[in-house]
Amino acid sequence: MIDLDDRDILLTRRDSGGRFVIFTTTDVQPSWPVPWWVAVLDTGGDGIGVPVRIDHTAAPDGWTALQLIEVAMARAEAEVAAAGARDVRDMRGMRAVAALMIHLAAALRAARQSPVSPASADPVTFEAGSESSRFGWTVARCGEHTLPFCHDASGKGEGVTLEQVLIVLNQLFDDGVIGRSLEAWLWRAKRHVALALAALSGSPGKSD
């Protein structure tokens, strides 16, 4: 488990299965638009530190909002494709899946409207993990950063879940619009990420 100083913990949130997402202030500079940098995600048996930033001007390293939305979209598509119609039997489930995909796509469009060019950022790639999975990939990679996903969509194995990634994005945009309130794309992305999270979990995520 990653050793954390309690003084560096800004906020702890949990997904619907109880997995934590801890937002830490370690090494954050006063001029940054977001008061945390690294989110520590519960992987089911340990924790993984994930540095996150709005874009490459907001912090010196880490996943950008655009890159994380791309990862969330790809994971959602993989989970929907693997589940098939048999796992989405009722109208409520079908509406939730449709809302998830619609709002993730809208958040992705909003993030691509950022005035900061993503051209210099590392591309996001996807690869198979060490465990067998019905998904085509379980590891997202961006430069030296990796994000290992659980081989099971419900989080019954080791790795992070889609819901945890959406919680990270939800917190990033909630804080980002305070630090950069004049950027319209941030407000649009914030709204659609919150709605995607609600569609997936039935709530905007729980805080401790």
- Average pLDDT, integer, range 22-45: 95
Q: Is the pTM here over 0.85, yes or no?
A: yes
Mean pLDDT along residues 21-37: 96
Burial class (CB in 10 A: 0-12, 13-18, 19+), 193: buried
* Domain extents in the chain: 6-207
CA 71 to chain centre: 8
Q: Judge whether residue 93 has pLDDT over 80.
A: no
**Percent of the chain at pLDDT exceeding 70:** 89
Whether 132 has a pLDDT exceeding 80, the answer reads: no
pLDDT at 90 exceeding the cut of 50: no
The residue among 75, 72, 17, 9 whose CA lies nearest residue 43 is: 17
